[in-house]
Amino acid sequence: MSTNKKIWTLIFTSSEAAINLYSILLVFQQTKGSGIINREDVKRITQWLRNIRRQISNIDKLSNDTHGPFRQRDMSPIIASLELDSRERSLMIYICKIIYEQLATPKGRLDWIKNQGQADYDFAVENYKTWLTVLENENAYQDSK
């Protein structure tokens, strides 16, 4: 089967996991790709943001919280996801790699901890690592309907 007919599912296990990715995607949308991704990819990100908003109604408010490390975190389990076709999967891998590699740098680590706290940093690293593992797995897909 061609990869074009496959669907990968990116699962958010908590509101907090969704907020971390949502915040990053929102920056890409607001900056029109920051020169890193093209206009078509920004349109995909806009669709992802809408999809996440439909599943987590208060995510805009939660992602805009300015309490930093003192922000109340919602680690309760949820069932939310994004279904990604082959092209979207490639884009999400690219975005997750950018963030994961940035988190691994000393400056990225210190900045994240300063802004969000150590627990949030550790949680973000684990999420991005898991998402990359799932998305990079050629066999972790379902056939499209």
pLDDT of residue 33: 84
Residue 57 is predicted with a pLDDT of 83
Q: Residue 98 contacts by C-beta under 8 Å, 6 or more apart in sequence?
A: 36
Q: How far, in Å, CA of 121 to CA of 15, rounded?
A: 15
Q: Which residues of the chain have pLDDT under 50?
A: 1
Tens of pLDDT along 22-48? 988 998 999 988 888 899 999 999 999
CA–CA distance, 86 with 103 (Å, rounded to integer): 26
Residue 21 · residue 97 · CB < 8 Å: no
Strands ordered across the beta sheet of 77-84? 77-84, 6-14, 142-143
